[in-house]
Structure 1
Amino acid sequence: MSGEYETEREQVAVVVLGDLGHSPRMNYHALSLSEEGYEVNLVGFAGSEPQDEVLNDEHITLTYMRPSPDVFSRLPKLITFIFKVLWQAIILFFTLVTGPRSKKLLLQNPPGVPAMPVCWLYCFLTRSKFIVDWHNYGYTILALSLRKNHPLVYIYQMIEKIFGKLAHGGLCVSKAMKIDLEQNWGIRKITVLYDRPAARFHPISVEEKHNVLLKLSSTYSCFSSSSPDKTVFTERYADGRVSECEDRPALLVSSTSWTEDEDFSILFHALQDYEHVRQEFPDHYPPLIVVVTGKGPMKSHYMSVISEQQWMHVGVITPWLSAEDYPKLLASADLGVCLHYSSSGLDLPMKVVDMFGSCLPVAAINYLALPELVHHNENGLVFNNKEELANLLQDWFRGFPRETAVKETYYDFYKNIDEFRKLKWHPCWICNSLPLFRDEILEKNQ
């Protein structure tokens, strides 16, 4: 690009009332906007680090807001909520008005309170275009910790509905959500943009698997072996050749937020059943190592419960993984498990998209919108309760790794997942999102 063109870049704000590093879809929006000639101000809170592509993009500016004071958390729950909302409203508005003047503003929802009214007010005052990217509904998430008929839940829903209708346009993550927004909310200027895996989620070689597993073995003994260049899964020989061990355990991976909308007890009970089956039929089932990533309020509770079981054939670890190692772990696993049960029933789990990007089959809990992503016995497995998940795990790993019945039975899984992987984020973004940012150009061409 010429220097003259660089000065013509239009400014766009991408706003997240949350941790920027834990908002991959908004990171992808920022990268696509930059690639299409926009200057991007990515606004949110600090926490985990955004992906390297965002950090290294000279046309993306990261603007971090000041978090609410810790003293708020010591107050009663309702007072804490009110004070936090007021703080965030002031900080967000101040950040927007003191930052670069944006002609378009793209907001992630949820959380929509106080972000939606604040962003709408900023756009109204500056005559900017207000666009909402609907990932879920904030009021349904709030209802998980309160009751559905709680006054705060109703107020939250009304704010989302009012300011969602005031937006100039919007995106959402599923067709089911688009239909619901149109029929029950009266919001019709909505386009579906499905999540797609980032480029770093892809299949890897046996040697790459060995390297990441060897790295984990230095911290987690269940991965390590007696030989210095060997794990329980893979081995590097003297000639440099790397291969998978014939008697290796199975590797199961799950990513969870450890919250009410992801019931980890379902996986816990399925693993408990697997422990008993493996103990009774050791020749038919391999040992199972389970890697659970993510952080959340219920993590310590479940890890304490697991440690009390003293399982002999099932090991569970909860490592912190870098943005570079997480995709490699997914590509090294034998099966992924998704426990995400949408609070609205209308969003789709990004973690499954990442697993598919790594060519990893997934067992996912069933809910209304899930068939838009996971098709039972076509590209994954769908279960409804802990008993069904227990049966799926036992069917999947029976005879593993010697018998090839699983891969022969589910050969189409890998073929269908590979087809899914061919459709990339940016081409989809250009078709579905770019028109929202170039409507003036489109109108001139009409």
Structure 2
Amino acid sequence: MIETAISVAFWASSLLTVVILLLPSQYTPQAKQKDGQDKEKVRIQILVLGDIGRSPRMQYHAMSIAHRGGHVDVIGYHESDPHPDIISNPAISIVPLPPHPAFLQTSNKLLFLLFAPLKVLFQIASLWICLAYRTKPAKWMLIQNPPSIPTLALASVVCFLRQTRLVIDWHNFGYSILALKLGDRHPLVRLSQWYEKAFCGTATAHLCVTSAMARVLKEDFGITQAPILPLHDRPASHFKPILDDGERIKFIKSLPEAAAVKAELEAGDVRVLVSSTSWTADEDFSVLIEALCRYSETATTKKTALPKVLAIITGKGPQKEMYLNEISARNKAGRLKNVTIQTAWLSTLDYAKLLGCASLGVSLHTSSSGVDLPMKVVDMFGAGLPVVGWSRFEAWPELVTEGVNGRGFGNAEQLAEHLTDLFSNPDKLQILTEGARKESLRRWDQEWDPIAGKLFGLMDASEQ
């Protein structure tokens, strides 16, 4: 018995020693130099469980932190090119996460349920190594939500061990997006909702994209101790109106997607319509396709003088092929005679130029929660581009002022009516354009500095 007890004690103490030795290093307050200045910049980690290059809001956070004197570790998947200022700024470090094995990605509902736990286990391991060992301890960790699994739980543990303050930047709710695949009553959706509500309580503070979302976090999630700070999306500086018609036409003509309508562009007989998407279930692009078919029918069968439309849809995602097949079928049926639909993947700067050169933007974002907003509309306003968008959710009026900088719709018929009305009446389109250009004056730093900048202690007292 004594030998057994000694053996158990030996292995238990050995295991405890290993655990202690493997614990991640903790954040300690910066030491002061004799002149009172900090030896190091305030370090902030930004965690994106997604492609960094396709996470504009988190990139804007990083650039604002660096601009205000902090050092940023941006942690996420490095699949597409981030903003050039992210790459060139010495105060910003990109810490790439290893991609999960390709066989774990599927759109099949049954396989999704089977592979999801394996995907989560792989993400847990790679995230733990990255957050706990590959990066230096930081004063703050800012995480994007969703996705919430496994980010919220793992970030909570790491922040506890490293004495880091956790801030959640709420873009939407993870459980509401999962419900698009599985349905509201699915057990996994309910478990996800419980998980999200449970672990968000470990955060020091919360940022969110709308005031409506702040209300939900307070009333439904029960967050009352930590501050909830609405931080509306605003465009970065590279989104700006392009006012010179010659410059606009020259850029559009330079795109391969415009090859079929170059002559009409020179003559001013084409309106360029732009939409961006991640080709996921929360955006039904059949609405836009049907609306363009109706527009084409009006242009070819009625006396109303309507220009041709070049519709450019940018982005990558799982449902792209499905919609390309639908577009092809409509073309073969002769329903898009007056419309050319092209898809594209552009660099950050070229996408900004495209928005600045287009005639009208379209948003199909339907909002799984009802309280988030599409970043694409913010970018469009930054480029002075008026917007027509799906408006059947609570937070829409926080972004678009009806009849001033955009219009809302709830089905393909209404969208077709807006396209017909605006493209046949240049004065009406110009009113919305002027409203969008006025909206473009509101910029990200003006929103970020007094809210997030103050939270992270990066603002001078005279600036607060």
Q: Answer yes or no: same fold by TM over 0.5.
A: yes
Quick one: structure 1 residues 109 and 414, their matched pair in 2 at CA, closer, same or farther if it must change by over 3 Å? same
Change (3 A) 1:223 1:424: same
Q: Could you tell me whether the CA contact under 8 Å between 1:212 and 1:325 is conserved in 2?
A: no
* Residue in 2 that maps onto 1:406: 428
* Contact map agreement 1:255 1:338 (CA 8 A) in 2: yes
In the alignment, structure 1 residue 62 sits paired with structure 2 residue 94: yes
Instruction: Provide the rounded CA distance (Å) in 1 between the counterparts of 2:438 and 2:105.
Output: 47
What CA distance in whole angstroms lies between the structure 2 residues aligned with 1:133 and 1:350?
A: 14
Matched, 1:356 2:381: yes
Aligned to 1:109: 145
Unaligned residue ranges in structure 1 (runs of 5+): 226-231, 235-244
Cα pair 2:44 2:138 within 8 Å, conserved: yes
Asked if 1:377 corresponds to 2:412, the answer is no
Equivalent residue for 2:245, pick from 206, 226, 230: 206
Provide closer, same or farther for how the CA distance between residues 370 and 417 of structure 1 changes in structure 2, counting only shifts above 3 A.
Answer: same
1:428: which partner in 2?
A: 447
Structure-2 separation of matches of 1:197 and 1:165:
30
> In terms of mean alpha carbon deviation, does 302-311 or 376-385 score higher?
302-311
Determine which structure has more spread, i.e. the larger CA radius of gyration: 2
Which residue, out of 100, 103, 117, partners 1:82?
117
User: Which residue is equivalent to 2:321?
Assistant: 300
Out of 122, 133, 136, the residue aligned to residue 169 of structure 2 is 133
Question: What is the DSSP-based 3-state SS (H/G/I as helix, E as strand, rest coil) of the residue aligned with 1:316?
Answer: strand
Question: Structure 1 308/163 Cα, relative in aligned 2: closer, same or farther at 3 Å?
Answer: same
**TM-score, scaled relative to structure 1:** 0.89
In the TM superposition, residue 417 of structure 1 has moved relative to its aligned partner by 2.4
The farther-off stretch of 75-84 and 51-60 is 75-84
Percent identity for Structure 1 against Structure 2 = 38
Structure 2 partner of 1:238: none
Computed over aligned residues only, the root mean square deviation of the Cα atoms, in angstroms, reads 2.1
1:94 maps to 2:140: no
Per-residue CA distance 1:81-138 (angstroms, 9 max, x = gap): 0011111111111101111111110000000110011111011001110000000001
In 1, the alpha carbon distance for the partners of 2:410 and 2:253 equals 35
**How many positions carry a matched residue from both structures?**
415
Q: Which moved more, 1:153-162 or 1:75-84?
A: 75-84
Q: Matched residue of 1:422: which SS?
A: coil
Structure 2 match to 1:27: 59
Give distance in 1, aligned partners of 2:427 and 2:453.
45
TM (norm. structure 2) is 0.85
Q: Name the structure 1 match of 2:76.
A: 44
Partner of 1:318: 343
Q: 2:197 aligned with 1:165, yes or no?
A: no
- 1:130 partner amino acid: L
Deviation at 1:440, TM superposition (A): 12
Name the counterpart of 2:367.
Answer: 342
Query: Aligned equivalents of 1:7 and 1:222: distance in 2?
Result: 59
Residue deviations 1:44-76 (CA, integer Å, cap 9, x gap): 011111000111110000000111122334793
Report the equivalent of 2:412: 386
CA shift, 1:77, in A, is 2.2
Instruction: Give the AA of the match of 2:240.
Output: H
* Unaligned stretches of 5+ residues in structure 2: 1-32
Q: Deviations over 1:384-434 (max 9, x none)?
A: 1111111111111115xxxx4324xx52x3343233222221121111112
Instruction: Classify the secondary structure of the residue corresponding to 1:224.
Output: helix
Match of 2:302 among 281, 284, 291: 281
